[in-house]
Chains A and B, each alone.
Chain A
Amino acid sequence: MFRNVAELVELAESQGKPISHVMIEAEMKVSQRTREEIMNQMYNNLDVMEKAVQRGLTEDIRSHSGLTGGDAKRLQTYMQEKPYLSGETLLNAVSMSTAVNEVNAAMGTIVATPTAGACGIVPGTLFAVSKKLNPTREEMVNFLFTAGAIGYCIANNAFISGAAGGCQAEVGSATAMAAAAIVEMAGGTPEQSAQAVAIALKNMLGLVCDPVAGLVEVPCVKRNAMGAAIATVAADMALAGIKSVIPTDEVILAMYRIGCTMPTALKETAQGGLAATQTGRQIEAKIFGVPLNQ
C-alpha cells in the first residue's frame, strides 16, 4: 500500500496504470475482496451521489433551520437566462456541488466524501465534468477511486475533518481529491493529478472551520461551491503543465502543521470566525433559544 502521494504516483507510473487502478488493486489486497465486489460498492456510492445531485438541482430543498437551500437551482436558472461569465463546466460544478451539500444540510442521503460537510465537491465536479467528457459509468467510478486514493493519503498524513484540522482539512481535502480525479478523467498523467492536488490544496491552506450555530450549513454550502471551482481550475492548470513549486506531500504536511497550530475556537466549535460575528450569534440565539457558547 502507498503511504503518500509520491508513492502513489510512483506505483502508477512504474506499472503504467492510472491512479484509480492502483487504488482498486490496493483495496482488493486490504479488504480481501474481489474486484467485482469493490466496484459494485463504488457503483452504489455513485448512484447515491447522482440522486443527491438531481434532488438538489430539481427539488425545493430547504434545511431544517431554514438557513440554506435553493442556491443550486438559482444558479442553474441564472445560467439559462443570463450571459454568464465563468464557463459552463465551472458553473455546473459549482451548482452541482451546492446541490449535494444543500441535500446534506436538509438531512438527505449523501455519501461522505471524505466527510458530509464536504460531500458536494467530488460528486459535483464529477457530474459537471462528465457533461463535457462523456465518460462511461466505469470511468465515473474510476473518478471516485482516484479521489479516494488522494483522500487516503491526506487522511493518513494529515486530517480530513474540520474538528481536527479546520476547513482546509475538510473542504480542502475534498477539493484536492476532486482536482486529481478530474485530471485523470481528462486524460492527464498521475503526476499531473498530483500537481493538481498541490495547486488545489495550497489555495485552501489556513481555512478555518467556523460553522454558524454549529450547523453544517453556513458557510459550508458556499465553501463546497468554491471548492468545486478551485478543483476544476487546478485540474486545468495541471493539465496545462503547470507545476507546484512545493511538492504535493509537503503541501499536505504544511496543511497538517497549520491545523495543529490552529486555535480550537476555529475548529468546528462555533466559537470563532463567522460563527462569532454579530449575525452568526443572532442566528444561533434564534435557532437554539439561547446563545450556545456565551
Chain B
Amino acid sequence: MKYKSVFDIIGPVMVGPSSSHTAGAARIGRVARTVFGREPKRAVITFYGSFAKTYKGHGSDVATVAGILDFDTYDLRMKDSFEIAKERGIEVILRTSDEMTDHPNTSRIQLSDDQGSLEVAGVSIGGGKIEITEINGFPLKLSGNAHTLMVLHEDRYGMIAAVSNILTKYEINIGHMEVSRRDRGDEALMVIEVDSEVGEGAVEEIEQIPHIRGVSVLLPT
C-alpha cells in the first residue's frame, strides 16, 4: 500500500496552491537538507516533467528552496524563501530538464559546501506525499512514513551486523531495510526504516563504528 496513514489523505497542512508541486517539492528539499545535515552554501535544483513545465505558477522553486532552508509545508515564510536564502548566503541555481523520468513530478537537488556535497532525487506522488528515489547515485525506495536511518559506510563485511547490533541494544525494531553500493569494496549506503524514534545515543554509537562515513535520521512526514 502506497499510502499508509489517514494523514497522508487528510493533510498536510500547507501553503497553497498545489500539494504535488508546492508541498511535495518542499518536502523533497527538506529531506535533502536533513540528509546533508547542515545548511548548504550552494543548491542546484533540477526539475523534470510536470515540475519543469509548471513550477513557476505553483511556486515549486520557492517551495524547494523553503525545504532546503528546513521550512515545513505550512511555513508562511515559504513565499520569501529565495530572499531568505540570499540573506543566509546560499547560492541557488535552478535548471529544468527534458530528460524522461519514471514519474512526471521529479526533482534532483545537489547541496554542497566546503565540507562536501550531496545529491538527492525525489518524486512527488500526490497529496504532498513523496518518495526519495536516489541518494548520491544509490537508487532506493524511501517512503518517508517511518523513522529512517541512513548510514553511509565503506563496503566491508560485518557492517550491517554492527549497525543492527546497536539498534538491538536500544530495542529499536527494523521494519524495512535496503542496502546498496557503488561497487564491491566501495562506498555503500544502508537505509533502515525503524518502528520507533532513533535517539542521539544510538546515532552516536553508530557513528563510532569503524568505516562509517556518515549517519542521518529522517523523521516520518
Q: What residues of chain A have their CB less than 8 Å away from a CB belonging to chain B? A: 1, 3, 23, 26-27, 30-32, 41-42, 44-45, 48, 63, 65, 103-117, 119, 122, 144-145, 147-149, 151-152, 155-156, 159-161, 163-164, 177, 211, 213-217, 264, 267-270, 287-288, 292-293
Top 7 A-B pairs ranked by shortest CB distance? A161-B126, A214-B54, A104-B16, A151-B9, A148-B6, A112-B19, A216-B17
Interface window among B55-63, B148-156, B157-165: B55-63
For B208, what are the chain A residues with a Cβ–Cβ distance below 8 Å? Answer: none
**Interface contact A155-B3, CB-CB below 8 Å:** yes
**Interface contact B12-A112, CB-CB below 8 Å:** yes
**Interface contact B126-A115, CB-CB below 8 Å:** yes
**Interface contact A112-B11, CB-CB below 8 Å:** yes
For A177, what are the chain B residues with a Cβ–Cβ distance below 8 Å? Answer: 9
CB distance from B71 to the nearest CB of A (A): 13
For B15, what are the chain A residues with a Cβ–Cβ distance below 8 Å? Answer: 107-109
- Chain A residue with the shortest CB-CB distance to B55: A214
- Chain A residue with the shortest CB-CB distance to B78: A107
A243-B165 Cα distance, complex, nearest whole Å: 56
Of B8, B12, B18, the contact of A155 (CB 8 Å cutoff): B8
For A108, what are the chain B residues with a Cβ–Cβ distance below 8 Å? Answer: 15-16
For A161, what are the chain B residues with a Cβ–Cβ distance below 8 Å? Answer: 19-20, 125-127
**Interface 0/1 of B26-59, CB less than 8 Å to A:** 0000000000000000000000001001101111
- Chain B residue with the shortest CB-CB distance to A23: B6
* B77 at the binding interface (Cβ < 8 Å): no
**Interface contact A116-B17, CB-CB below 8 Å:** yes
For A104, what are the chain B residues with a Cβ–Cβ distance below 8 Å? Answer: 16-17
CB distance from A190 to the nearest CB of B (A): 16
17 further interface pairs, Cβ-Cβ under 8 Å (given A26-B6, A105-B16, A111-B13)? A32-B196, A41-B7, A42-B10, A48-B74, A107-B17, A109-B13, A109-B14, A109-B76, A110-B13, A114-B10, A116-B19, A147-B10, A152-B9, A160-B9, A160-B126, A214-B53, A216-B57
A293-B53 Cα distance, complex, nearest whole Å: 8
Number of interface residues of B (CB under 8 A): 40
Interchain pairs with CB closer than 8 A, number: 164
**Interface contact B19-A117, CB-CB below 8 Å:** yes
Could you give 24 example pairs across A and B, Cβ below 8 Å? A26-B6, A44-B13, A45-B11, A105-B17, A109-B16, A111-B12, A112-B23, A114-B9, A115-B19, A115-B20, A115-B126, A116-B19, A145-B6, A147-B10, A151-B10, A152-B6, A155-B2, A155-B3, A161-B127, A163-B20, A163-B126, A177-B9, A216-B16, A288-B56
- Chain B residue with the shortest CB-CB distance to A164: B126
**Interface contact A32-B58, CB-CB below 8 Å:** no
For A23, what are the chain B residues with a Cβ–Cβ distance below 8 Å? Answer: 6
For B3, what are the chain A residues with a Cβ–Cβ distance below 8 Å? Answer: 152, 155-156
A148-B22 Cα distance, complex, nearest whole Å: 21
- Chain A residue with the shortest CB-CB distance to B129: A155
A164-B6 Cα distance, complex, nearest whole Å: 20
A293-B49 Cα distance, complex, nearest whole Å: 12
For B128, what are the chain A residues with a Cβ–Cβ distance below 8 Å? Answer: 112, 115-116
For B53, what are the chain A residues with a Cβ–Cβ distance below 8 Å? Answer: 214, 269-270, 292-293
- Chain B residue with the shortest CB-CB distance to A267: B104
- Chain B residue with the shortest CB-CB distance to A220: B17
**Interface contact B18-A270, CB-CB below 8 Å:** no
For B5, what are the chain A residues with a Cβ–Cβ distance below 8 Å? Answer: 27, 30-31
A145-B23 Cα distance, complex, nearest whole Å: 21
A23-B9 Cα distance, complex, nearest whole Å: 12
For B127, what are the chain A residues with a Cβ–Cβ distance below 8 Å? Answer: 112, 114-115, 155, 160-161
A171-B195 Cα distance, complex, nearest whole Å: 34
* B105 at the binding interface (Cβ < 8 Å): yes
CB distance from B221 to the nearest CB of A (A): 12
For B56, what are the chain A residues with a Cβ–Cβ distance below 8 Å? Answer: 288
- Chain A residue with the shortest CB-CB distance to B79: A107
For A268, what are the chain B residues with a Cβ–Cβ distance below 8 Å? Answer: 50, 54, 104
For A3, what are the chain B residues with a Cβ–Cβ distance below 8 Å? Answer: 1
* B4 at the binding interface (Cβ < 8 Å): yes
CB distance from A46 to the nearest CB of B (A): 9
CB distance from A155 to the nearest CB of B (A): 4
CB distance from B67 to the nearest CB of A (A): 16
- Chain A residue with the shortest CB-CB distance to B7: A41
Q: Given A42-B10, A216-B18: A32 and B126 within 8 A (CB)?
A: no
**Interface contact B10-A103, CB-CB below 8 Å:** no
